[in-house]
Structure formats: C-alpha cells, structure tokens
Amino acid sequence: IVGHALQECLQEPVALAEGVLHAQASIGLALSPEHGETRGDLLCAADAAMYVAKRAGSSVALHSPAGEGRHRRRLEVAEDLFMALEREELVLAYQPIRTPADLGLVAAEALLRWNHPESGLVLPARFIPTLEETGQIVQVGDWVLRAACRQNRAWQDAGLAPMRVSVNVSTRQFQSETLLQSVQSALEESGLDPVWLELELTESQLLVDTEAAIEVLAQLNALGVAISIDDFGSGYSSLNYLKRLPIDCLKIDQGFVRDLGSSAKDGAIVEAIAAVARSLNLGLVAEGVETAGQARFLRRLYCTEMQGYFYSRPVAAEVLPEIIAALDAKIPA
C-alpha cells in the first residue's frame, strides 16, 4: 500500500522550466528480518525486487527468492557481457536488402551476435534486454556503429558497389547525449561517406519525447545519415509524427509480411503502408520476406525493398559479397 501511494505521488507531472516532466517509478520492497538483517542485505534484496518491478513495467514488487534468482542470473549475464566486449566476442552479421526490380542490392542491415565461448552464437533477443537494463547498450551500440562503418568502408575499398548499411539504435542509446558524437566519430574514423549509413529507430522510441527526438533526428540528418523506422506498424503508429520527423524510410513490421497471400487483411495493411510511404516520399522496406509468394506480392507495390530469409539469412561479413552476387538470380516471376 505504501509502495503504491509513493508511486502515485511520483507519477504527478513535474513542471520544469523547459516543460513538463512525466516520471515513472519502479519500487522494490524488502522486509526485515525476513529478507535481511543488515542495512546492506536489505538494500540488496530491495534492489533485486526493484528489477522485478521494472520488468513488469513500473510496478511495485516485494522481494522473493525466485525474483532474486532471476536477478542474479541477469547480473551474471551482465558480467559475461562486460567480458564479451573485452574479449571481442561480439560480432556483426549482415543481411542483404534488395530492390524487387533488377537494380541489384541496395543495402544491408547489421545485426549483432554474441559469439559465446560455451553457448555458441547467441541472438540479440537473449542479451540486448540485459544490455538495455544495465546501460551497457550505449557502449556496445557505439562499438556496433564503429564496426559497421569500418566494414562498409572496407567493402567499398575492396571494389564492391557502394551500399547503405543500417544499424539498429536502442532506446537508451537514442536518449544518450553521446549518440551524435558516436555517429560522428564512427564516420570519421572509417572515412565512410555518411550517405552509406542508416540508423534504424522504432516508433516507441520516437514517441517518448517527440520534441527531443525531432532535435536529435535533425542533427543526424544534418550529418547526412539516413533514418528509418523499424518494425513500422507494430508500435503506437501515430501517423502524426511521420509528417513531423525528418525520416527517410519505413520498414514494414514482419508480422504483416508473414501472412501476405493468406490474409487479405495483412495485404490491405501493407498496401496502405506503401501508399503512406509513397505519398510522403519515403523509402519502404518489407522485412521477413520468406517466400516467393510474399516477394511477388510486394513487388507489385511501389518501390519496396525486401529483406528476409527468401533472399538470405544474416551472414558473416566475409561471405556477404558472394551472397550479393547470387542475389540477382532470385527475382520471383
């Protein structure tokens, strides 16, 4: 009861000179003597409960042994991840994105992988949430930007036709003050022309504080970097922000692409998104294209670029040039 009362108080908007601040609180509770007898033990127990509350989305949680176990495992993962950076176990895979016409490859997306000494190649869903929680994502995101720019420049230097490489930007990274600096140094260090770099953001990231987002996007835009909205249609989809934000491209959420052909509704939604992109003069990428049927449907729409297992899974940087060379054969009738 105390926890919820506190939370209500903290939810009251706070008036600041620059505007109104809406804060949310996650509260972890621990009881003495059940959860610890010293001040330190109690704080530790409350801290673990706070992470449980955070996971549940700004709630209140009482300490429990199960929650403690989960918290401890997450801390272990966080520790491991810290070492991963040191030991250079993080790698980028690249997935080609192609145009439906005969224009060849236009782009690739950089996707993070963790080459774990015991578990093998670990996918981002398993460790990005922890990186977000601990804040390590800012450092890792910085590494991803540098590595992707360096690789893209290396492909160009090796004589490959220049292509845009997109990099996913996490929420914490987008909100951190170092993003702009990080993008700038990645470009400078690699010598990559900014037109070949694209940043992927999600709708929810842009809606947290739209005014601040517009400012950051304008600065990135000024650098000459392209911006796309990832998983478009899966978030809050406020169409209002589309006309206000300086963005270049929409990436249709995989969920709509999956049932193309079998669900008339998904077909209609994809067509509507394509119409929005066309009228706002935005690029359009369909993600998760797995079959020739889906590719055929999308080909009929305005300038859809396509990405999915039908063309290629994400692959190691060394093999991407081969995959690109083989892509031209993959044009569905």
**Positive/negative CA dihedral, 208, 210, 215, 221:** positive
- Please give the residues from 133 up to 172 whose contact with Mg ion meets the rule CB under 5 A: 168
Cβ of residue 179: shortest distance to ligand C2E, in angstroms?
Answer: 12
The span from the CA of 94 to the CA of 125, in Å, is 16
State which residue, 50 or 108, has the beta carbon closest to Mg ion: 108
CB neighbours (10 Å) of residue 314? 19
Binds 270: which of ligand C2E, Mg ion, none (CB < 5-8 Å by kind): none
Cα distance between the two ends of the chain = 64
Which residue type occupies 240? N
Instruction: Give the list of residues 6+ apart from residue 172 with CB closer than 8 angstroms, or none.
Output: 132, 135, 137, 138, 141
Cβ of residue 286: shortest distance to ligand C2E, in angstroms?
Answer: 10
Among 36, 124, 255, 261, binds ligand C2E (CB under 6 A): 124
Is 312 near Mg ion (CB under 5 A)? no
277 with 248: CB under 8 angstroms?
Answer: no
Is 231 near ligand C2E (CB under 6 A)? yes
**Where does 87-136 have alpha helices with state H?**
124-134
Is 305 near Mg ion (CB under 5 A)? no
Instruction: Give the list of residues 6+ apart from residue 175 with CB closer than 8 angstroms, or none.
Output: 208, 212
Is 123 near ligand C2E (CB under 6 A)? yes
Beta strands 164-168 and 105-116 are parallel
State which residue, 95 or 134, has the beta carbon closest to ligand C2E: 95
Is 233 near ligand C2E (CB under 6 A)? no
State which residue, 233 or 314, has the beta carbon closest to ligand C2E: 314
255 with 269: CB under 8 angstroms?
Answer: no
State which residue, 60 or 199, has the beta carbon closest to ligand C2E: 199
CA distances (Å), origin 241, targets 205, 208, 211, 214, 278: 12, 12, 10, 9, 16
State which residue, 230 or 266, has the beta carbon closest to Mg ion: 230
Among 230, 232, 258, 273, binds Mg ion (CB under 5 A): 230
Cβ of residue 221: shortest distance to Mg ion, in angstroms?
Answer: 19
Cβ of residue 305: shortest distance to ligand C2E, in angstroms?
Answer: 13
State which residue, 26 or 166, has the beta carbon closest to ligand C2E: 166
Is 111 near ligand C2E (CB under 6 A)? yes
Which residue type occupies 253? D
Instruction: Give the list of residues 6+ apart from residue 99 with CB closer than 8 angstroms, or none.
Output: 106, 303, 305, 306
State which residue, 230 or 266, has the beta carbon closest to ligand C2E: 230
Chain-centre distance for alpha carbon 240:
22
Binds 170: which of Mg ion, ligand C2E, none (CB < 5-8 Å by kind): ligand C2E
Cβ of residue 280: shortest distance to ligand C2E, in angstroms?
Answer: 21
Is 194 near ligand C2E (CB under 6 A)? no
Is 288 near ligand C2E (CB under 6 A)? yes
Backbone angles phi, psi at 309, to 5 degrees: -60, -25
Is 178 near ligand C2E (CB under 6 A)? no
Binding site for Mg ion (CB under 5 A): 168, 200, 230-231, 287
Residues at the interface with ligand C2E (CB under 6 A): 95, 111-112, 123-125, 128, 141, 144, 168, 170, 200, 230-231, 287-290, 307-309, 314
